[in-house]
Amino acid sequence: MLPFKSLISSTQLTPDIIREIFRITDNMDNIIVEKGRSDLLDDKIIALLFFEPSSRTMLSFQAAAQRLKAGTIFAQSSGMTSFEKGESIEDLIRVVAGYSDIIVMRHAQHGSARIAAKASDVPFINGGDGGNEHPTQSIIDAYTIYKHKGRLDNLHIVFGYDSLQSRSIHSLSRLLAQYSGNRMTFIGPAKLFPSDEMLTELEASGTHCEVRDQPVLTDGVDVIYLNRLQEERFEDRALFETNRRKYRLQRDDVKESDALILDPLPRIDEISVDVDALPNAAYFKQTSYGVPVRMALLAALLGKT
């Protein structure tokens, strides 16, 4: 059991709660390895509402449900729902809550998850609300860091390259800010540094933060967490191409480093393919943890651990 009905933000995830989710995740991983599936949720229906493009999040939630023998119902674009007719988020969620035992939703609107959770009579999971938050991804990221580094405190984490609009960076930085001794450096183009409000929030927790307009930082770094530059954020195509070439992690940048290299994916240009063979390149392992983590969240929010 978790001390909340719905997961909206990584700010809900205290170290004690994270520890419990990790314990359940380990159990779910054992189920996958030893039996493949469990009937833990065979009496439950999970609604997956994805109104923005998704591959890993949607598929891993579907796989998590099937591993626990839960039924699933889907809506994968706003065109498949009455949104196109002008229906509100609140009304749709009230209806879907009557069809299911738990709802997972991704939506382009910042703050839509909070609106939906308030309207829902059943547990609700934020699968990403615009550029705001992605709390389940932050748990996967933290689980990966813990598995490889053995701790979530006293870390130097480098975030790049779009810390302004990346919901994954927002959620993971907020989660890690709850642990003592962490230091965060945000790299990338100055126009994509975190907002002043975000930096103030992180520093209020005691986390030391700095920003640097540079493509690589490895000295004294424990974790490098990168995401893609988004072409749509640049008004000048030539400027985007210049930045895309500049802000890219190359094998030579990290071949002598033991920093854990993570990326929530999809990867576009931010990490050179030849980095994949390095022992500290963990982004594909990171995504594999998505299924047991989301199994744990579904079971815990449904009180079936």
Same domain, yes or no: 233 and 176: yes
Catalytic residue, chosen from 57, 136, 207, 287, is 57
pLDDT score for 242: 83
Per-residue confidence (pLDDT) for residue 174, from 0 to 100: 98
The reply to whether 305 belongs to the active site is: no
Q: What is the SS3 assignment for 177?
A: coil
Residue of 44, 67, 107, 134 with catalytic role: 134
Q: Identity (one letter) of the amino acid at 154?
A: N
Q: Does residue 282 share a domain with residue 186?
A: yes
Q: Are both 295 and 167 inside the same structural domain?
A: no
Please tell me which residue in 56, 94, 212, 244 is annotated as part of the active site: 56
Task: Answer yes or no: 56 catalytic.
Answer: yes
147 and 40 in a common domain: no
Domain assignment present for residue 4? The answer is: no
Whether residue 96 is found in the same domain as residue 168: no
Residue 67 makes CB contacts below 8 A (sequence gap 6+) with 28, 31, 32, 36, 37, 38, 291, 295
Active site residue 67: no
In this prediction, residue 219 carries a pLDDT of 92
| Same-domain pairing of 116 and 160 | no
Containing domain of residue 47, as a range?
10-133+289-301
What was the pLDDT predicted at 80? 54
In the three-class reduction of DSSP (H, G, I as helix; E, B as strand; rest coil), residue 277 is classed as coil
Do 165 and 122 reside in the same domain of the chain?
Answer: no
Prediction pTM value = 0.94
Same domain, 20 and 143: no
Residue 48 lies in a domain: yes
Domain tally, the chain: 2
**Could you tell me if residue 244 is inside a domain?**
yes
Residues 124, 191 within the same domain: no
CATH number at residue 74: 3.40.50.1370
Distance CA 299, CA 305 (A): 6
Average pLDDT by stretches of 10, the chain with 305 residues: 95 98 98 97 98 90 98 79 71 96 95 97 97 96 99 98 94 98 96 95 97 93 93 75 88 95 94 96 98 99 94
The predicted structure's pLDDT at residue 78: 55
Domain match, 41 and 127 both: yes
Residue 2 lies in a domain: no
In a domain, 3, yes or no: no
The pLDDT of residue 230 is: 76
Tell me, yes or no, whether 22 and 139 share the same domain: no
Rounded to a whole number of angstroms, the CA Rg of the chain reads 19
Cα separations (Å) of 97 from 124, 204, 228? 9, 37, 35
